[in-house]
A and B are shown apart, each in its own frame.
Chain A
Amino acid sequence: EVQLVQSGAEVKKPGESLKISCKTSGYRFTSYWIGWVRQMSGKGLEWMGIIYPGDSDTRYSPSFQGQVTISADESISSAYLQWSSLKASDTAMYYCARQRGDSHIEYWGQGTLVTVSS
């Protein structure tokens, strides 16, 4: 069974750094893309970027390029989304998702709520 299990909710202050995780199981980690999707409270879905763990090829939406870093660790079948300096506007639910190349999202994680507040 394919599973994507995300790390727990985070409460941070502006300017702090953060790395959230997405641990996968039930499939060959290096054979599928893992993407990240943001959903601000009461709003729609925003595709942030994607990584192919097989060769670490990473692509970002221009809206998020330079704002976040996507990475993966093949040894533990996990993907990551990180910020070096959080802003209040980063407050949102973040989903990881398994995506076929040039194709749809097949599986979603349960989401990680990130709250940034002074």
Chain B
Amino acid sequence: DIVMTQSPDSLAVPLGERATLNCKSSQSVLYSSNNKNYLAWYQQKAGQPPKLLIYWASIRDSGVPDRFSGSGSGTDFTLTISSLQAEDVAVYYCQQYYSSPDTFGPGTKLEIK
């Protein structure tokens, strides 16, 4: 199985500041034939199911605010929130779907400082 790791475990950022969350896979999730990174980011607020934010490493899902952006390739990925809002408090998970079984990272808990 591909092992996903995320850093930091938790992060406190002042309102309006940038938040940077990292995700690393134990092997590349870049499929060379289509040059796509098989990686997604999800946001899970307390008491709610996860919500898709980013897929193919950098494509924002419909309706996701543009302060959220995804970057990276191969084994190292980043989710950036350019200006943190109160409603962004949540746990963020990355997921690889390059090879079965799909696997999630352990999550990064994002809070307001």
Number of cross-chain contacts by CB at 8 Å: 58
SS class, residues of chain A in contact with chain B: strand
SS class, residues of chain B in contact with chain A: loop
Cβ contacts under 8 Å, B61 to chain A? 106
Q: Which residue of B lies closest to A60 (CB)?
A: B101
Q: Are B93 and A105 closer than 8 Å at their CB atoms?
A: no
Q: Are A103 and B97 closer than 8 Å at their CB atoms?
A: yes
Q: 4 extra interchain contacts, Cβ-Cβ under 8 A, other than A62-B101, A110-B49?
A: A45-B42, A45-B93, A106-B52, A107-B52
Q: Are A95 and B50 closer than 8 Å at their CB atoms?
A: yes
Interface size of B by CB at 8 A reads 23
Q: Are A105 and B105 closer than 8 Å at their CB atoms?
A: no
B93 to chain A, nearest CB (A): 6
- Which size class do A's interface residues fall under? 20 to 34
What is the interface of chain B, defined by CB distance below 8 A to chain A? 1, 38, 40, 42, 44, 49-52, 55-56, 61, 93, 95, 97, 100-107
Q: Are B40 and A44 closer than 8 Å at their CB atoms?
A: no
Q: Which of A60, A62, A102, A104 lies at the interface centre, i.e. has the most chain B CB atoms within 10 A of its CB?
A: A104
